[in-house]
Amino acid sequence: MYRKAINYLIEWRKRKSRRPLIIRGARQIGKTWLVREFAQQFDFLVEINFDKHPEKVQLFKSRDIDKIIELLQIDSDSDISPGKTLLFFDEIQAAPEILPLLRYFYEERPDIHIVCAGSLLEFLLAEHDFSMPVGRIEYLHLGPMDFEEFLWAQGQDRLVKFLSTFSLADSIPESIHQNFLYYVKLFLVVGGMPAAIKRFCDSGELTEAVREHEIILQTYEDDFGKYRKRIYPQRLRKVFRRLPSLVGGKLKYVNIDPKERARELADSLHLLELARIFYQVHHSAGNGIPLAAEAKEKDFKPLFLDAGLVSTSLGLNLVKFEVADNLLMINSGAMAEQFIGQHLLYDRPAYEKPQLFYWNREKRGSSAEVDYLIAHENQVVPVEIKAGTTGSLKSLQLFIAEKKVPVALRFNTMQPSCLRQKTVMLITLPLYLVGQTKRLLTEVFSS
């Protein structure tokens, strides 16, 4: 399989201002695989899994970095040479005392390439009681595999190339358009979790992907026991199981459990967000950039980690995949919103924290809502998602009229088009072009 993040790692390796790198992301997202794949760029890989080998923390007792490197060479029976060796500290959450040492690696031996990763690392970073090496480390935020990586995994290189070279001035033959929509539908079932994609590609059976989803979901639930000191695990499981059915709508605590107090449910949601199992898509007034400046903390929609996990969590019958003309219509179109959302969330430089926004009209009795807001070239771009080929654009038109934006974007299952409406350009893109959003918006803004 291929991950686009490899390109970021290759660029990081060559950069003179390089710092020790920490990969952040949910469990089972492919962090370890990614580093091992990247390690093929080096002559040597020295890997320490602190969860499996907690005793190896003893190698780092000294504050003398050269001494630590010497001990690592003896322990691994491998050379640690600048430019030739990659140091990989995996499951670093099991050895939090290693993190402050990254400062000294950067200051004293910046020529050594160091990558760290770990499960539930967000908890360590959010609640640490030690001095973090601020300004001396950098991050890579990793999400599920995207639609184009999904195509690559199935050997559909020509389809990916078609997407990457498509221009809004081009047309898409209907047979190719339908082929892409088939793969979108397939993605909704298989999703972007690397293990599920591999299972499907190896077997050709959707049931194998679903089986992997069940394993991943159960693994997440098993992890909840680790939160026992923070929160009641049974409540956490309840919230976890309800979230997939709430995708696409503003979250109301009563829809999770009317018998639970909002504060306790909010605490559970916070833990799941730290685990990167779900994300809060916050309301923003959308008056300008940055969108976060006008975000409302208590007004948000849930976005789950991955569409495939949502499908399995909701118990979508696989038979429906074979007979449905449009699986996107299932669950009132929320699957289309999940698909686009998880792509837009990570459609930014890998070092930036994933975030996404939406808009609803802040007037009593108003139901106007724009699914997502994104920023492009210092402009706010509203994004509306339709599961089929039709649907009202009243909310989008209302946002355009109020905010005077020059470009608006609609995703659906139609052929791509550009339509000038007075002072705004309305771009319609089929769902499968979501990975090319930034490039195509640049094409519009520069025309």
In DSSP notation, 211-259 reads: HHHHHHHHHHHHHGGGGTTTS-HHHHHHHHHHHHHHTTS---GGGT-TT
Angle at 234 between CA 232 and CA 237, to 5 degrees: 115
Asked whether 357 and 292 are in contact (CB, 8 A), the reply is yes
DSSP 260: S
Could you check whether the bond before residue 302 is cis, i.e. omega within 30 degrees of 0? no
Distance CA 18, CA 12 (A): 6
* pLDDT at res. 436: 98
Residues 6+ apart with CB under 8 A from 142: 5, 23, 24, 25, 29, 30, 31, 34, 350
> Consecutive sets of 10 residues in the chain, 447 residues long: mean pLDDT of each?
96 94 94 97 96 95 94 96 97 89 94 91 64 80 97 98 97 96 94 97 94 95 71 85 94 92 91 92 95 94 97 77 56 85 96 95 79 95 81 85 95 94 92 97 91
Crossing angle (nearest 10°) for helices 233-246 and 262-274:
80
Predicted confidence at residue 234, as pLDDT, reads: 85
Paired strand residues for 358: 283
**Structural domains in the chain?**
5-141 (3.40.50.300), 147-445 (no CATH)
Q: Distance (Å, rounded) from C-alpha 110 to C-alpha 108?
A: 6
CB 1 within 8 A of CB 149: yes
How far is it, in rounded angstroms, from Cα 347 to Cα 289? 17
CA atoms of 125 and 105, how far apart (whole Å): 19
Q: Measuring CA to CA, which residue among 103, 106, 44 is closest to residue 79? A: 44
User: For the sheet containing 21-24, what is the strand order?
Assistant: 44-49, 85-90, 113-117, 21-24, 138-141
Residue 335 main-chain phi, psi, to 5 deg: -65, -35
Q: List, in order, residues 6 or more apart from 316 with CB less than 8 Å away.
A: 189, 327, 330, 331
* Count of beta carbons in the 10 Å neighbourhood of residue 381: 21
Please provide residue 44's backbone torsions phi and psi, each rounded to the nearest 5 degrees.
-135, 145
pLDDT, residue 164, reads 97
In the numeric block, which tokens belong to residue 344? 């837009």
**3-state secondary structure at position 320:** helix
Question: What's the count of helices (H) and strands (E) in the chain, helices before strands?
Answer: 17, 13
